[in-house]
Structure 1
Amino acid sequence: METTQTKLQKPEAMIFDMDGTLFKTETLLIPAYHELFDRLREEKMYEGETPPEELMLSCLGMLLEDIWRKVIPDCSEAVHRRADELLLELELSGLKEYSTELYPEVKETLEQLSRRGVRLFVASNGLEHYVKGVAETHLIAPLFEGMYSAGEHQTASKVDLVRLLLDNHGVSSAWMVGDRSSDVEAGKKNGQTVIGCAYAGFGNGHELAGSDVLITSFNELVTLYDQAEDSE
C-alpha cells in the first residue's frame, strides 16, 4: 500500500469503477472479443485477423466509441456500432456461460464496508446492462445504492458521470476507487479522494499518477477506512 502524506478522512461513500477494479474483466472479455470478430467476419463487416487482445485490454476504462477507434480505426462508424451491439450481446450471454471472476475479496470487502455504514456506488464507462449484469451475476448488486454507467446516462466523460452521481445522491465526501487515469481524473475534478487499484495491470505505469493511495489488493480498503480520521 502506497500513500501520500495526506491523512485520509473517512468518506461518506465509496464509488467504484467496474472493469479492472471489482471485476476481472478478461475472464469475460477475451472469449467474447474473439467471438465478436468471428461474427463480424461472418457478416462481411470485417476482414483479416482479429486485432491483438492486448490492444483491447489496454483500452479498458475508455468509452466504447473510443475503444473501437483505437482497436479497428479503419472501419466505418456502422461497423463500430455493430461491434457495440455484438459485444453487449456476447458479454451478457457470456456471464451465464463462462466462469467469470471478481477480484479476490471483493464481495467480502464490500460487505464489510457496508456494515460500517459506507454508502457504495458504481461509476463505469461501460454499457448499462453489462455493468448491472456483472453485479447481478456475482451477487454484489444489492450492496450498491446506485450503479451509474456512461451507457445509461450518456455522459461524455467519467468526470461528468461521477458529478451526476454525487449530485443525485447528495454525497459530499467520497473515495473514488479505480484503476485508470479516467478514475483519477473523475475523483480529483470532483474534489474527492482517489484510491488507485494497482493490481489489474491493464494500464501503463502513469495511469494512477495523482492517486492519494495505491492499493495492491482490494481488501486493503477496509484497513484504510478503519485507519482514516473521522470527518468533522
Structure 2
Amino acid sequence: MSQSLIFDMDGTLFQTNKILEVSLEDTFNHLRSLEKWDAVTPINKYREIMGVPLPKVWETLLPNHSAEEREQTDAYFLEKLIENIRSGKGSLYPNVKEVFSCLKKSNCSIYIASNGLRGYLKAIVNYYHLDKWVTETFSIQQIKSLNKSDLVQSIIEKYDITNGAVIGDRISDINAAKDNGLVSIGCNFDFAQEDELSQADIVINDLKELQTIFPILQK
C-alpha cells in the first residue's frame, strides 16, 4: 500500500535555531535603529511560540506596533533568514537526506507542509536540494485560514492521499494529522514541548527511526 508522509519544516527537517537567533537579533537591531524598539531581543518568547504563522509571531512580539510596522518587520526578518540560509549558516537535522532516500526507495511520497513563507521554504529546499525527494512543498500562505490542518487537507485533496502520517514537532502538526485521519508522529527535537508530544500517536527522537516505523505504517 502506497504511503504519504507530510513533514513540517522548522524544528523537524530544518534546524531553525541555528539561524533564528542571529536573524532575530538583526531584525530587532534594525528596529532599534529606527527607534521602534528599546528593550532586549525577545528570543525566548519567540522560541515559546515557534510553529505558529509569522503574522501571529509579530502580533505576539510587537503587540504595541501597528499592522504596517509588523508587516515591515516580517519582511525584514524573512530577508535575513534567507540570507543566512543561502550563506550556509543553517543546517538540516541529522539523517534527513538518508531517510528521504530510503523512504523514496520504499515507494513513499514525501511532502512538506509548513507555517513558513514561500520564499523562506524555497530557499531551504533549493539550498539542500530537497526537491530530489519531495513531491511538493506547501506554505501556510496558500491557506486563507492560516490553519495547519487546512493546509494538510489541501495536500490530501490535491494528491488523493488515503494513507500516511504527518511528522512534526508542535501541536499544530499533531492536530493536522488527527483532523485529517492520518497518523501523527511527534519529533522530540529542539522546539518540542512534552505536553504537546504526549498527544501524538508516535514520538521519535531521531528521523532515522522512521525507517523502522514506515514498514509498520504500510501494514
> TM-score of the superposition, structure 2-length normalised?
0.94
Pick which of 47-56 and 158-167 moved more. Answer: 47-56
Count residues in correspondence.
219
Gaps of 5+ in 2: none
Q: Relative contact order (C-alpha < 8 Å, sep 6+): which is higher?
A: 1
What is the identity percentage for the equivalent residue pairs of Structure 1 and Structure 2? 28
Pick which of 88-97 and 179-188 moved more. Answer: 88-97
For the 8 Å contact 1:51–1:71, the answer to whether it is kept is: no
Shift of 1:132: 1.8
Gaps of 5+ in 1: 1-9
Shift of 1:229: 4.6
Shift of 1:11: 5.8
In 2, the alpha carbon distance for the partners of 1:192 and 1:228 equals 10
In 2, the alpha carbon distance for the partners of 1:18 and 1:27 equals 14
Which residue number corresponds to residue 118 of structure 1? Answer: 108
Shift of 1:146: 1.0
In 1, the alpha carbon distance for the partners of 2:11 and 2:131 equals 17
Pick which of 178-187 and 202-211 moved more. Answer: 202-211
For the 8 Å contact 1:179–1:198, the answer to whether it is kept is: yes
Which residue number corresponds to residue 134 of structure 1? Answer: 124
Shift of 1:95: 1.1
Shift of 1:155: 4.0
Shift of 1:153: 3.9
For the 8 Å contact 1:181–1:209, the answer to whether it is kept is: no
In 2, the alpha carbon distance for the partners of 1:33 and 1:156 equals 22
> TM-score of the superposition, structure 1-length normalised?
0.89
Q: 1:29 to 1:136 in 2, by over 3 A?
A: same
The answer to whether structure 1 residue 30 and structure 2 residue 18 are counterparts is no
Shift of 1:87: 1.2
In 1, the alpha carbon distance for the partners of 2:116 and 2:217 equals 31
- In structure 2, the residue corresponding to 1:207 is in which secondary structure? helix
The equivalences for 1:3-22 within 5 A come to 12-22=3-13
Shift of 1:142: 2.2
Which residue number corresponds to residue 182 of structure 2? Answer: 192
The residue type equivalent to 2:25 in the other structure is: H
2:49 corresponds, among 59, 82, 99, to: 59
The equivalences for 1:73-152 within 5 A come to 73-152=63-142
The answer to whether structure 1 residue 225 and structure 2 residue 197 are counterparts is no
In 1, the alpha carbon distance for the partners of 2:118 and 2:175 equals 21
Shift of 1:136: 1.4
Q: 1:142 to 1:153 in 2, by over 3 A?
A: farther
Q: 1:151 to 1:228 in 2, by over 3 A?
A: closer
